Every structure is written in C-alpha cells, then in structure tokens.
Amino acid sequence: MAATVTKGYTKKDVRMAELLKAVAHPARIAVIRLLAKKNTCTCGEIVEQLPIAQATVSQHIKALKDSGVITGKEEGASVIYSLNLKAIEEVDTLLDTFLTKISPER
C-alpha cells in the first residue's frame, strides 16, 4: 500500500482525514454504535452482532484502534474494546470546524 502524502497540509486536516477514513465503512460505524451502546465489548461479542466474519471484524477493529477511535485493554485471553471519547470529540470538533468554514449557512 502506498504511503499517504501529508506534506503541505495542516496537521488538523491530516488528522481529520485519518479519523474520517477510519470510520468510513458501515461495519466500523456499526462497531462504534455498538461500543457506544454497551460501553465495552470483546471481539467475539462484536462478531455476534455483525453479519461479517470474525477475521473481517478484526480488520475493522484494527483500523479503528490504529486511528485511536477505540482502545483495547487485555484481560486474560480477551481484549476488551471501548470508545476513545477524546477521539470521538476530536472528530466532532474537527468536522464541525471544517463544515462551519465551508458552509455559508452555518
């Protein structure tokens, strides 16, 4: 996979792109909604709720975790996932600021 060129862009724009890319899939949105509802889940609990294979769920969890949108805490043989509320707030703030700047009606 090619590296993303970020030179010449603001840190805020790069971060917003990273966060939006991380959540830009229906399965990832479903994972976020599930974690918002239940607070914490294991990968197995997430798999039970989604119509996709465990390996695919794991890939989506990895993307969300790598971006900082969710966190994982090892407990025995399991990893307990939860939302990183700071990252969720960051998405909200960055997107709101961006939309406010480009929309004359806001």
Using one digit for the tens of pLDDT, what is the confidence trace for 58-73?
999 999 999 999 999 9
Q: In angstroms, what CA-CA distances link 85 with 3, 13, 39, 89?
A: 28, 20, 11, 6
Structure tokens that stand for 29 in this block:
């949105």
Domains of the chain with bracketed CATH: 11-95 (1.10.10.10)
pLDDT < 70 positions in the chain: 1-4, 106
Structure tokens that stand for 46 in this block:
């997430």
Global pTM exceeds 0.75:
yes
